[in-house]
Amino acid sequence: MQAISTPPNTLTTLPFERWDNEICNRFCAMQIEPSAAIKAFSGSLASRNLERTSVSVVSSTALLVNRYRKHIAAAEQPYYLLKIQLQGTSVIRQYGNEACLQPGDFTLCSSTEPYQLFFPDTYSQAVFSVPQPLLQELIHSPERFLGRRQPGKIAANNVFVQFATSIFTQADQMSPELVSRLEANVLDVLVTALEAGQHGGAGAGVKTEYLYRIKQFIHAHLQDPELGPDKISAALGVSKRYLHMVFEGQGITLARYILYRRLESCRACLGKPEFAHLSVSEIAFKHGFNDAAHFSRSFKQLFGKTPSQLRLTG
C-alpha cells in the first residue's frame, strides 16, 4: 500500500522532545524510546479532528513505545486507537495478543489497557481515535480485537483502509455535513470488516488457537537451542507445513519471530540487577543462542548497541 499523501505544510518534521510531547498530548501518556542505532531522530505528526473521531498520521525513525499501568489515569477519556500501517513494519502487543503489521494491515488498541509498540525502522501509521462508548455502541465487545492483526490483503479490510485514509487527505475539500456522513460510513465499514474477519469460518478460529499455542510454546522454550519448526510441530502435533501456514498471517517468519523474542528477553535480562553476575555470553546461552558472535551481531542490528554497550549505558 502506498503512503497516503497529506496537504502541504501539515506534516512537519519535529525534534524528539517536541514530537514526544505532541504524541502524548494527542493520544495518551506513554514512554517513548528512540532507537540508539539512529544518529538523529526524525518524526512528524499531522492530525484532523472530525465530528466524533479524529485521525492522525504519525511517522518517525525507529523506536520503542510502552504504555504502562502508571500511565493510565482514571481522568482520561477512554479511546480505541485504530492503527493502520502505511509504511514500514511494526509489532503491537496488547491484551495478550501480538500483531506484526505490514503496510495495509491494521489493528485495534485501547487506551485503557497497557500496550507495547515496536518500530524496527522508519515507519508511518494512520491512527483513528474513536471514543470507547461510540465503538461499543456499534460492535459487541471490541476487546475481542485488541492486538489482533487485521490483514490488508482481505478485501473487506482493504476497502476500509482505502476509505478511512482518504478522509484524511480530502476532508478540507468537504463540507462539515459530508465529513460527518462519511465518518459514520467509515465506522460502519470498520464494523463490517471486523465482524467479517471474526466469522471467517471454522478454520479461522482453529488457526487462531494454534497460533496462540505456538507462541506460548516458543515463550516457554526460548532457552532451548534446538527450538525450531521440528520441535514445535512435534510438541503440538501438527505438520511443519501447517505450522508455517498458521504463522504466515503474522507478517513475520517463524524463525524471525523466535530470534526477536530471544533478543528481547536477553535485553530485558541485561538491565536487571539479578543477572549482573552473569556475563553477556552466559545470558545469551541461557536464551538458546550457541554462537556469541551471531548473538552480538543480531542484537546490535535490532537495538543499535552491542549487548555490552547496552549493559553499560542502560
Q: Domain ends where: 166, 198, 230?
A: 198
pLDDT in tens, 200-216: 544 555 566 677 678 87
pLDDT of 242 reads 83
Mean local confidence (pLDDT), 93-117:
94
Q: Domain ends where: 164, 198, 232?
A: 198
Answer yes or no: do 301 and 266 share one domain: yes
Name the pLDDT band for 1 (thresholds 50, 70, 90). very low
pLDDT of 17 reads 94
Answer yes or no: do 108 and 191 share one domain: yes
Answer yes or no: do 145 and 224 share one domain: no
Answer yes or no: do 219 and 71 share one domain: no
Task: Report yes or no: 180 and 51 within 8 Å, Cβ to Cβ.
Answer: yes
- Sheet with 54-60: strands ordered across: 12-14, 43-49, 54-60, 123-131, 79-87, 106-110
**Percent of the chain having pLDDT more than 70?**
89
pLDDT of 201 reads 44
- Assess if residue 2 is contained within a domain: no
Name the pLDDT band for 2 (thresholds 50, 70, 90). very low
Number of neighbouring beta carbons within 10 Å of residue 182: 19
Residue 199 has pLDDT above 60, yes or no: no
- Assess if residue 3 is contained within a domain: no
pLDDT of 127 reads 96
Q: Is the overall model pTM greater than 0.75, yes or no?
A: no
Answer yes or no: do 69 and 137 share one domain: yes
- Assess if residue 5 is contained within a domain: no
Residue-number span of the structural domain to which 128 is assigned: 12-198
- Assess if residue 56 is contained within a domain: yes
Answer yes or no: do 116 and 17 share one domain: yes
Q: Domain ends where: 178, 198, 218?
A: 198
Residue 8 has pLDDT above 90, yes or no: no
Answer yes or no: do 165 and 88 share one domain: yes
pLDDT in tens, 258-278: 998 898 888 888 878 888 899
Q: Give the domain CATH number at 42.
A: 2.60.120.10
CA distance to 36, 146, 270, 271, 301, per residue, from 313 (Å): 11, 34, 11, 10, 17
CA distance to 29, 30, 168, 186, 301, per residue, from 25 (Å): 7, 10, 20, 25, 31
Buried b (16+ CB within 10 A) or exposed e, 242-253: ebeebbebbbbe
Q: What is the count of structural domains for the chain?
A: 2
pLDDT of 6 reads 42
Of how many residues is the chain composed?
Answer: 314
pLDDT in tens, 178-187: 888 888 889 9
Name the pLDDT band for 313 (thresholds 50, 70, 90). low
Q: Give the domain CATH number at 209.
A: 1.10.10.60
- Assess if residue 1 is contained within a domain: no
Dist CA 224 CA 290 (whole Å): 10
Answer yes or no: do 182 and 55 share one domain: yes
